[in-house]
Amino acid sequence: MNFDDNFRCLGRSNTEPVKALVLQLNPEEWAGDVVQGIQTIPLVYDFKLDHRNPLRHPALDIFDREIRSILAIAAEYFDRSEKGRELTKKYGVGYFIRASLLRLFPGGELPENRDTVFSLTHSHRVHVPIVTNNQVQFTVGRETLHIPEGEIFEINNRRLNRLSNDGDEPCVHLVLDYVLNAEQCCCGEKLHPDEECTPESCADTDGGRLPCTCFPERY
């Protein structure tokens, strides 16, 4: 989701219980290419990127209790925002459409990218470092941050972003996508204010054929 900043701190949670579980995982429980330095464990994830029906994976049963406090802090932040209160009153509370664990090996990176798929551009991307080191850097736009363990940050996934690990140990992030029911993207509010955002109505702005100029980057 686009907003008028690169990062937004939502709060902080004790992630030690989640970290303890992560450190107990066997190598075969992670999916992905070690050579590329990126592995994941889907907790709630539809690989077709459906926007309305969260798909639970077996690994959620392992982490469900330990991540609840993190989820509650993030959901409360969005639900209690001015827009969140309005939408929740009309359409009910929001939901996490995706949740996964991301492991980045030493020297690994998530290359610079900008989300362009409807469900990704219409959800709030949240990163929570579970295991990290001071050489893990997150860049959004032209701003670079090191996010400590337990800090809960929304990142602007409509701007170019990159995650890198130049440390000596793997890092692990909990990555969440939160949806407020019927929330319009910033371009939707301008171009079709009386219509719900859909993959068809937002195709040009999501795909970049019609550049989004709602929140010019200041830094």
Q: Sketch out the chain's domains with CATH numbers.
A: 7-185 (2.60.120.330)
Let me know: does 74 contact 126? Beta carbons within 8 Å: yes
DSSP state of 56: B
Q: Who wins on pLDDT, 216 or 54? A: 54
Paired tokens of 184: 């319009």
Distance CA 185, CA 158 (A): 11
pLDDT digits (tens, 9 = 90+) for 1-35: 999 999 999 999 999 999 999 999 998 999 877 76
Cα-based distances in Å from 204 to 33, 104, 192, 193, 210: 33, 32, 13, 16, 5
Distance CA 86, CA 82 (A): 7
pLDDT digits (tens, 9 = 90+) for 46-70: 999 999 999 999 999 999 999 999 9
